[in-house]
Structure 1
Amino acid sequence: MTKTTPRPLKIAVYLLLIAGSVFMVFPFIWMISTSLKTVGAIAQMPPQLIPNPINFDNYVTIWNKVNFGRYTLNSFFIVVLDMIGSLLSCSLVAFGLAMYKFKLKGPIYIVMLATLMVPGQVTMIPTYFIWKEFNALNSYYPLIVPSFLAGAFGIFLMHQYIKSLPKELYESAVIDGCSPPGIFFKIYLPLCKPALAALGVFTFMGAWNNTLGPLIYLQEKSLYTLPLGLLYLKSENVNQALMMAGAVITTLPVVLVYLFAQKQFVQGIASSGLKG
């Protein structure tokens, strides 16, 4: 909207945006509200948005007795290693593709992008048998190792950002006698913070919310991640308050990461030229 936009139209647009925001946020608010209720309060009519009394026993029960504390540590362990592997490997490959000229560079880049069109369901079974041959089932290796092999989306995101940086930076560093690893780690990697933040948020959300991977490869309950913990709660037919407490624990880190990294995330997406 501009300064010449009629005031009634502005008010209507703002009211529509507020209504849309409330509509989007309400399920999360209701989830928190239900997680703080007793079993009897859940079935109370009319429903209470603000629990009375507020009951934190659901969180204590699910954290200790249902072992969600262990599931949370497992999820963080996988996510941290996935982020380290993805940020390092994708930025390194993108730097090589953006800065250096070599034979078959174009076809390699095109084939790499073409893998984005291959559904994960197509490679799921072959990948499972590969990890089975390595005796890596019921371990975190299938969930962590692929992040150190550079994913196509991360390479593309970092490649677009690195190409937008002045080529004179590289040429000046070479004249000063800086080695390629030094140029990458000392010059380009610090300048790629916005793109790294965007890739980090994508990697975090993908690894944190990953349900299918752990469901396929993990059998022992002690290795479960939070999404598997929620599936386990559903299979045990626990009450809705405990389910919502588990959902809050699972959802809250994603919300916090996005809120704190929102500025860098948007800047990184805009700078890399990606559009929704």
Structure 2
Amino acid sequence: MFDSRTIGKTASSLVLYLGALLMLFPFIWMVSTSLKTTGAVGQLPPRLIPDPISWENYKIVWEKVNFGRYTLNSMFLVIVDMVGTLLSCSLVAFGLAMYNFKLRKPLYIAMLATLMIPFQVTLIPSYFIWKSFHMLDSYYPLIIPNFLGGAFGIFLMHQFIKSLPKELYEAAVVDGYSPMGVFWKIYLPLCKPALSALGVFTFMGAWNNTIGPLIYLQNKKLYTLPIGLLYLKNDTEVSTSLLMAGAVIVTVPAVIVYLIAQKQFMQGIASTGLKG
């Protein structure tokens, strides 16, 4: 006979598997639809495994909406955003965690308070600021803010750096390291778990960013993948299978990055005190 503990674990596992299946089903259906011909999309009863499988949808989407150019644009923005965010947030967090200076606490609290401000509130003022600098229809409004630090990223890195022994800093200073030398050679390598977590968050935000490029970009050559998907959706001649093929192209890179960095991501979240 099974004891109550075994039955409880089995029931919990079944619930988790069922929940995972429910979460995965829309993605599976999207991939399935992207491989169907136009006539097979509305077939009744619906079939999860396409017959025949049509890879032509991806070729049409890639050529019709210039997804190749949009992919390169998205990759460029993601790389620059990640470099700017990881560098600026880790540097500011290191200063806040390691040094005592006047107004440090009020500045930190004021920074955290900005997390409570919805981005819609600052959207219009930000637009007019960039317009006054004549930087619309360029990547500058999407890139420059990432080099100025972000409240969430600074908080994430600050929590991790605070958990490290401060004796590391004192020992490095005794050995003759400058403050920047301590940051680059001692603390930054130790912050890999937190940097991995912040990197995944930054990648997801930059890769899926739709509202920013939609507001600031007018030149089609500068469009990113989410904007290309919107352009594809508004085309009345595009079938559902083609639209799903475009959605798969946009979604798969984010899924791959998360799966690759999953271990480091979870380790970083646990070590920064953000776990539930």
Q: Return the TM-score normalized by structure 1.
A: 0.97
Q: Deviations over 1:63-95 (max 9, x none)?
A: 122201111111111011000000000000000
Q: In the alignment, what sits opposite 1:76?
A: 75
Given residue 275 of structure 2, which amino acid in structure 1 is its aligned partner? K
Change (3 A) 1:226 1:102: same
In terms of mean alpha carbon deviation, does 19-28 or 82-91 score higher? 19-28
Report the counterpart of residue 194 of structure 1 in structure 2: 193
Deviation at 1:15, TM superposition (A): 1.7
In the other structure, the counterpart of 1:172 is 171
Quote the Cα distance in structure 2 between the aligned partners of 1:117 and 1:69. Answer: 37
Cα distance in 2 for residues equivalent to 1:76 and 1:4: 53
Distance (Å, rounded) in 2 between the aligned partners of 1:205 and 1:98: 27
Alignment correspondent of 2:268: 268
Deviations 1:216-273 (A, max 9, x none): 0011111111111111111112100110001001000111111111111111111111
**Structure 2 CA distance for aligned equivalents of residues 112 and 55 of structure 1:** 51
Name the aligned partner's letter for residue 178 of structure 1. Y
Map 1:34-113 onto structure 2 (within 5 A).
34-113=33-112
Q: Which amino acid aligns with 1:260?
A: I
Partners of 1:93 and 1:5 in 2: CA distance: 51
TM-superposed CA distance for 1:205, in Å, is 0.5
SS in 1 for 2:180: helix
Does 2:158 correspond to 1:154?
A: no
- Relative to structure 1, the CA distance from residue 155 to residue 4 in structure 2 (aligned partners, 3 Å threshold; closer, same or farther) is farther
* DSSP-derived class of the 2:20 partner: helix
AA paired with 2:265?
Answer: F
CA distance in 2, matches of 1:82, 1:112: 20
CA gap of 1:162–1:4, structure 2 versus 1, over 3 A, is farther
Identity of aligned residues (%): 71
TM-fit CA distance, 1:14: 1.8
Mapped pair 1:253 → 2:253: yes
Question: Which amino acid letter does the alignment assign opposite residue 139 of structure 1?
Answer: S
Amino acid at match of 2:252: L
Structure 1 position 9, deviation (Å): 2.7
Task: Give, in angstroms, the shift of residue 11 of structure 1.
Answer: 2.3
Q: State the Cα distance separating 1:7 from its structure 2 match.
A: 2.7
1:43 CA displacement: 1.2
| 2:254 aligned partner, one-letter code | V
Q: Deviations over 1:27-78 (max 9, x none)?
A: 1011001001110111111111111111111101111222011111111110
Instruction: Report the secondary structure of 1:6's partner residue.
Output: helix
Deviation at 1:12, TM superposition (A): 2.1
Q: Provide the residue aligned with 2:214 in structure 1.
A: 215
What's the CA shift for 1:5? Answer: 4.4
Q: CA deviation at 1:4?
A: 6.8
- Give the RMSD, CA atoms, in angstroms: 1.2
Q: How far, CA to CA, are the matches of 2:114 and 2:247 in structure 1?
A: 33
Secondary structure of 2:44's counterpart equals coil
SS at match of 2:209: coil
Match of residue 182 from structure 2: 183
* Alpha-carbon distance in structure 1 between the residues aligned to 2:62 and 2:4: 52
**Which segments of 5 or more consecutive residues in structure 1 lack a partner in the other structure?**
none
Which range moves more in the overlay, 11-20 or 105-114?
Answer: 11-20
**Structure 2: segments with no counterpart, 5+ residues:** none
Distance 1:258 1:64 in 2: 28
Q: Structure 1 residue 13: deviation in Å?
A: 2.0
Relative to structure 1, is the Cα distance of residues 4 and 113 closer, same or farther in structure 2, using a 3 angstrom cutoff?
farther
Q: CA deviation at 1:10?
A: 2.5
